[in-house]
Structure 1
Amino acid sequence: MAPHSHSSAILLLLLFFYFSVSFAAPPSNEIAGGVRIWPLPVSVTHGGHHRLYVAKDFHLITQGSNFSDASRILEDGFSRLLDLVRVAHVVDANLSRFASSSLLHGIHIVVSSPSDELQYGVDESYRLSVPGPAPGKPAYAYLQARTVYGALHGLQTFSQLCSFNFESRVIEVRMVPWNIIDQPRFSYRGLLIDTSRHYQPLAVIKKVIDSMAYAKLNVLHWHIVDTQSFPLEMPSFPNLWFGAYSKQERYTIADATEIVRYAQRRGVSVLAEVDVPGHALSWGVGYPALWPSKDCQQPLDVSNEFTFQVIDGILSDFSKIFKYRFVHLGGDEVNTTCWTVTPHIKNWLRKKGMKESDAYKYFVLRAQKIALSHGYELVNWEETFNDFGSELSRKTVVHNWLGTGVAQKVVAAGLRCIVSNQDSWYLDHIDTSWEKFYANEPLQNIKNPRQQKLVIGGEVCMWGEVVDASNIEQTIWPRAAAAAERLWTQYDNLAKDPRQVFARLAHFRCLLNQRGIDAAPVSGLGRSDPWGPGSCFVQ
């Protein structure tokens, strides 16, 4: 151990006292009552001192009018559940010392819909009950859901009711009986990852997806390419991935397909982004004709038909992999200087009677038409709305990022909106606290119920400049979990003061750690180190 001065030891004791008093003590009735579930459900009731012990042969029983689980999504989700509740402990298989009435033998799941299609707006509701001990009657948990994806959320909640008892060495469910009714507040609950600024290995992306499912986030916004690199294989234009950092930092079509499959089986959709016309310098490494000139390389050449052929090819390839209803077309931060200083583009603008602002609109709207032709609805960053919102396709979702107040204007114009305002929900802003993530309200100042429905949800953004495989998890968590509860939990159940949920969020952060997710302490800012020796539950 490194030596510490007497004053350092006193400082650590003071810090421990401060955090223990300010945060660790149960600050609300729901914490005192033992509800540690994150995100908080619509309705929760539970018992007092009774508990059930998870039986050695704890098993799954499925039922539904037409539900067969042919794709084994539910069966696989149940298998993952068993791993989650054990959290790598060696569980004592000998339960003969417990009364049979205190054993929980399995979970009975009823799914109404035969379809396992995962798409925007899928029903994610569920009802979960765990009985109390009943002599002479074997105990089973009961989970009812409209779809298999609601059932997966119910399993995640059930996993948080389970804990390892270090005295008896078994898994138990305390404070039975439990009755939980739950459904999400918003249909779109996203997390963006950026694999252009730093390549993220497939195993890392899969861990991010796993952790999203734990927090009930349901859309992975994959910002695949950008100025710095183009790592994804595109069969229609195979030279595009020459823009990758290296041959080892690429994704094949099979890789992308596997990510989509892996996510879908956990209830997570993948929203793919191809950001045009800016943020696209890497495209020209394989196809220099896409650059305005060798010396002025972005935005993409608006005057060249080849540019739109490439976009069409990319979106055609996307449509075979990414089956989510939406595709993200970017459209942000477009500096049109190259268009005005490159002779052949300057001549093209003059012949078309366009200013550079007109060319920007022309490019975005033409890209939208191409995406629509491939069956997609559209997402664009807010600059497109700010500059020519009335001319965007009515199938556009405007993605807010620059600040507050934009969502109000978008929904007033009759368009849908996703909220990601950078002052509150950008994870790369390391100095933004979890309290600010929790307090950010997507419906701020939107009072009209019809307009409120046009805010389809929100998204936290993990831009890649300051993260790679070594630190992405602790930069995402636990702050993304604070936003996840804002997006899942019904407004009236949200804490008005974020400090009221510190203990429960700290508990969830520790749960992530136990499950192998490198979530940072709650008590600091983003990606903070622990402030000193102490329990996970107070840091």
Structure 2
Amino acid sequence: MQSGRYICFLTSFQIYLSVVTDCWNMGGVCAAILVGILLGFSLLANGLNLWPMPASVSYGSSTLYLSRNFRLRTDGSKYSDGSGILNDAFLKMVDVIGDAHVIDGIVPSSGVLDGLHVQILSEDDELNFGADETYKLSIPASNKETYAQVEAQTIYGALHALETFSQLCYFNFTSKIIELHSAPWRIIDQPRFPYRGLMIDTSRHYQPLSVIKKIIDSMAYVKLNVLHWHIVDRESFPLEIPSYPNLWNGAYSYSERYTIADAREIVQYAQRRGINVLAEIDVPGHAVSWGLGYNSLWPSFDCQEPLDVSNEFTFQVLDGILSDFSKVFKFKFVHLGGDEVNTTCWKTTPHIKKWLRKKRMNESDAYEYFVLRAQKIASSHGYEFINWEETFNDFGKQLSPKTVVHNWLGRGVAEKVVGAGLRCIVSNQDKWYLDHLDATWVGFYMNEPLVNITKPEQQKLVLGGEVCMWGETADASDIEQTIWPRAAAAAERLWTPISKLATDPKIVAPRLAHFRCLLNRRGVAAAPLFAPGRGTPTFTGSCIQQ
């Protein structure tokens, strides 16, 4: 088997030399990165092709063969799997390991791995924020032990262990069986941040339910754990709200809608993969579409945004939406937006001007009033809340201490937020906005959420980060290749201990290229690694060359 690994080494070496040559001829960022790609080649030669990189890894040099009847054992586990989460995840793992190939070879009589023995120490499967996602994965090197061992505090840690295990397995095209190289393995792993998010925007372009589910599956591959669903915006209101059924008159068309049952299905589908769904309604701006169902929410027909701050009906609708949300979106947080509020309509609409005078407010006071009142409504439905950073920049001292500030405009804000004692999520647009098609994976990987935040008590207030897929130029035809593999680069930054992160992107490039090809084999339309945004292959060759 060592000779087989040596042939693989030589083949990969030739591929990488070709990559460096081709990319050097192309010039630009591609060549600058790839000129040092062979520095990371030892990782490939040793089989350490895991993404994201675990906290602690040790491995050997033996090869194991997966039994044709690879099984799941759970004896000794406190978790009963009454909901079937573990069993379903195990079956899916076995399916993706085969890369859709026909596995019909003869498994050798020695070095056979019969299955996974999973022990989970917690009895419940509640996906609470901050749930323990740690796991230990041990894979033997001989027939003395025929089961790999997984130990996790919760089912969600076990799901991460299954994903890691799947990335260690390879289909052998000669023997037509599944092999696991470099045993024995000992992996101890846990996330760096509790919040590791991806935002999708279904208001600028509708995304079918099947596409959203596929994105959720992809998130699980990189251990992201929050799907931020920016459901509605000024362009469209596609979601059914039972308390105010005319709101989805603001959808683009009759068929580009989500029923409340659809939303519940997405939440449950994500939960079974260890992913919470964060719902957002962006108020008081970004809400023109609301008025297509209830036009009294507009300041006037001629001036339709922000929502009418002077009208009690506005807050009744907000209360109804959040009441309906609380029955479906069980994550502890709701996102209330609050960004890019242009108050011109409030200054120029007669009845609102009159209300402002009566309340002795100017338009800035009214903006603060709206945001704080929305927070109180959210709190009444059991939510803590996230607001975009403008709310902190404009009236941070007035925000509820339950507020999580979502940084997006640039650097320097996160350190001010945690310095004020509030929690923060980092999504600075210069690095982590996927709709910026000129942003490369290198920028995604090197973006550090804790920059200039050195005090341990303040570092704990940075819950994590999120990459944002704003939907102006992304629909079902191109959303996957716009997200991947750049989101994977950020995912490792959010999962892996900082001491294990590469300080030079040239070192990590081969491993990310390998993972991008793995995504392709799993049916995910991840774009070429060395193309900006959602670029296409620029020359012929192996997937790993692109």
> Which range, TM-score by smaller chain?
over 0.9
Query: Closer, same or farther in 2 for the Cα pair 1:405/1:31, shift >3 Å?
Result: farther
Opposite residue 25 of structure 1, the aligned amino acid is L
Which among 364, 373, 379 is matched to residue 371 of structure 2? Answer: 364
Residue 77 of structure 2 corresponds to residue 68 of structure 1: no
Q: Is the Cα contact below 8 Å between 1:16 and 1:534 reproduced in 2?
A: no
Matched, 1:45 2:52: no
CA distance in structure 2 between the partners assigned to 1:429 and 1:32 by the alignment: 34
Mark the CA change 1:435 to 1:447 in structure 2 (over 3 Å): closer, same or farther.
Answer: same
Alpha carbons of 1:361 and 1:51: their partners in 2 closer, same or farther (altered >3 Å)?
A: same
Matching of residue 502 in structure 1 with residue 509 in structure 2: yes
- Residue 36 (structure 1) aligns with: 49
User: How far, CA to CA, are the matches of 2:24 and 2:527 in structure 1?
Assistant: 20
The residue aligned with 2:13 is: none
Q: Does 1:433 align with 2:440?
A: yes
Which residues of 2 match residues 127-146 of structure 1 at below 5 A? 127-134=136-143, 137=144, 139-146=146-153
SS of corresponding position for 2:263:
helix
Mapping of 1:289-368 within 5 angstroms?
A: 289-368=296-375
Matched, 1:452 2:459: yes
CA contact (8 A) 1:23 1:503 kept: no
Structure 1 residues 63 and 392, CA gap change in structure 2 (3 angstroms): farther
Q: How many residues align structurally?
A: 523
CA offsets, 1:165-211, max 9 Å, x none? 01100011011111100000000000000000000000000000000
CA distance in 1, matches of 2:114, 2:248: 52
Q: Secondary structure at the match of 2:196?
A: strand
Q: Label 1:291 to 1:180 Cα distance change in 2 as closer, same or farther (>3 A).
A: same
The residue aligned with 2:119 is 110
Aligned equivalents of 1:151, 1:345: Cα separation in 2: 55
Within 5 Å, give how 1:183-198 maps onto structure 2: 183-198=190-205
Give the aligned partner of residue 177 of structure 2: 170
1:90 corresponds to 2:102 = yes
Contact 1:54 1:173 in 2 (8 A): yes
Question: What residue identity is the alignment partner of 1:34?
Answer: G
Deviation at 1:17, TM superposition (A): 6.2
- CA gap of 1:93–1:33, structure 2 versus 1, over 3 A, is closer
Change (3 A) 1:537 1:65: closer
The CA distance in 1 between the partners of 2:498 and 2:88, in whole Å, is 32
Provide the residue aligned with 2:233 in structure 1: 226
What secondary structure sits across from 2:69 in the alignment? strand
Gap change, CA 1:181 and 1:474, over 3 Å in 2:
same
1:485 corresponds to which of 479, 484, 492: 492
SS at structure 2 position matched to 1:338: helix
Report SS of the residue matched to 1:190. strand
CA RMSD of aligned residues (A): 1.5
Q: Distance in 2 between matches of 1:250 and 1:65?
A: 42
Which residue number in structure 2 is paired with residue 466 of structure 1?
A: 473
- Is 1:123 the counterpart of 2:132? The answer is yes
Structure 1 residue corresponding to 2:416, chosen from 395, 409, 414: 409
In the aligned structure 2, how far is the partner of 1:56 from the partner of 1:138?
Answer: 17
> Who is 2:404 aligned against?
397
Work out the CA distance in 1 between the residues paired with 2:112 and 2:135: 24
Letter matched to residue 119 of structure 1: N
Identify the residue that residue 521 of structure 2 maps to in structure 1: 514
| Long gaps (5+) in structure 2 | 1-17
Uncovered stretches (5+) of structure 1, i.e. residues with no partner? 1-10
Deviations 1:481-502 (A, max 9, x none): 0000000000000000112100
Is the contact between residue 302 and residue 345 of structure 1 (CA under 8 Å) also seen in structure 2? yes
Q: 1:12 to 1:192 in 2, by over 3 A?
A: closer
| Letter aligned with residue 35 of structure 1 | L
Letter in 1 for 2:289: S
1:256 to 260, 263, 266: 263
Q: Establish whether residue 55 from structure 1 lines up as the match of residue 67 from structure 2.
A: yes
Letter in 2 for 1:456: L
CA contact (8 A) 1:196 1:231 kept: yes
Partner residue of 1:386 out of 393, 396, 412: 393
C-alpha deviations, 1:288-346, integer Å up to 9, x for none?
00000000000000000000000000000000000000000000000000000000000
- How far did 1:139 drift? 1.1
Q: Measure, in 2, the Cα distance between the counterparts of 1:212 and 1:517.
A: 11
Percent of residue pairs bearing the same amino acid type? 66
What secondary structure, in the 3-state scheme, does the structure 1 residue paired with 2:35 have? Answer: helix
Does the CA contact (< 8 Å) of 1:503 and 1:538 recur in 2? no
CA distance in 2, matches of 1:464, 1:285: 21
Quote the Cα distance in structure 2 between the aligned partners of 1:455 and 1:28.
34
Moved more, 137-146 or 519-528: 137-146
> What TM-score do you get using the length of structure 2 for normalisation?
0.94
Does the 8 Å CA contact 1:62/1:109 hold for their aligned counterparts? yes
Letter paired with 1:424: K
Matched residue type, 1:420: S
1:531 equivalenced with 2:544 (yes/no): no
Mapped partners of 1:396, 1:228: distance in 2: 27
Task: Give the Cα–Cα distance (whole angstroms) in 2 for the partners of residues 532 and 13 of structure 1.
Answer: 13
DSSP 3-state at the match of 1:348:
helix
**Separation in 2 of the partners of 1:42 and 1:290?**
50
Give the structure 2 partner of residue 7 of structure 1: none
Residue 119 of structure 1, CA deviation: 1.6
1:42 counterpart letter in structure 2: A
Q: Bigger shift: 23-32 or 478-487?
A: 23-32
Q: d(CA) in 1 for partners of 2:170 and 2:119?
A: 24
Q: Report if the CA contact (8 A) 2:47-2:181 is conserved.
A: no
Name the TM-score, length of structure 1 as normaliser: 0.95
2:7 corresponds to: none
Secondary structure of residue in 2 paired with 1:404:
coil
Paired amino acid for 1:319: S
Partner of 1:5: none
Does the CA-based 8 Å contact 2:43-2:511 persist in structure 1? no
CA distance in 2, matches of 1:93, 1:114: 39
8 Å contact kept, 2:519–2:526: yes
CA shift for structure 1 position 34: 2.3
Shift of 1:466: 0.8
- Aligned-partner Cα distance in 1 for 2:461–2:170: 40
CA contact (8 A) 1:23 1:538 kept: no
State how far apart, in whole Å, the 2-side matches of 1:273 and 1:78 are: 32
1-structure distance, mates of 2:191, 2:236? 36
Aligned partners of 1:240, 1:198: CA distance in 2, in Å? 17
Is the Cα contact below 8 Å between 2:106 and 2:175 reproduced in 1?
Answer: no
Amino acid paired to 1:124: E
Alignment of 1:25 onto 2:38:
yes
Whether contact under 8 Å (1:281, 1:299) holds in the other structure is yes
Letter in 1 for 2:69: D
CA shift at 1:63, angstroms?
3.5
Q: Which AA in structure 1 matches 2:35?
A: S
User: Deviation per CA, 1:432-474, whole angstroms, max 9, x where unpaired?
Assistant: 1100000000000000000000000000000000100000000
Alpha-carbon contact 2:77-2:118 (below 8 Å) kept: no
